Amino acid sequence: AVLAPIVARPGGLTVLLTQRASHLRAHSGQIAFPGGKIDPGETPREAALREAHEEIGLEERFVEPLGWLDPYLTGTGFRIAPLVALIDPSFASTINPLEVDEMFETPFAFLMDPANHRLDQREWQGRMRKFYVMPHEDRYIWGATAGILRNLYERLFS
């Protein structure tokens, strides 16, 4: 489960993203939403909120869940449940360096502009895989994160 946090800044909406820690075994250095595995007895909502708190110190009192996007199935066999939420901009963050190298915000308008959505493809394990890419400044947003953002765009504007 992941939290797709939209921050309500006075200058416009942003999407809060993380860069995963470079020392992690899986998906190191990639741009991601806060999130992770659902623990036994935990709901997807509880997991998304717990992981956001563990990774970036986001407290639940600053989070207003808006709804779920379609589950996102990765080419590597993961099923991701994305919870979209509005975030109060007065939140304070504390990055957990064991999981996250950096936290940053990208303008919502940029991410919701289809002109910034590019389909790319690469061979992986003998198979061609297609995925969305949304490069912004020095950030390479791709794969599951870009796919989830594309799903949000389609839900809102298609």
Identify the pLDDT of residue 29: 63
Q: How many domains does the chain divide into? A: 1
What is d(CA 54, CA 94) in angstroms, rounded to the nearest whole number? 9
Domain that holds residue 110: 2-157
pTM for the model: 0.93
Q: pLDDT tens digits, residue range 36-73?
A: 999 999 999 999 999 999 999 999 999 999 999 999 99
CATH assignment of the domain containing 47: 3.90.79.10
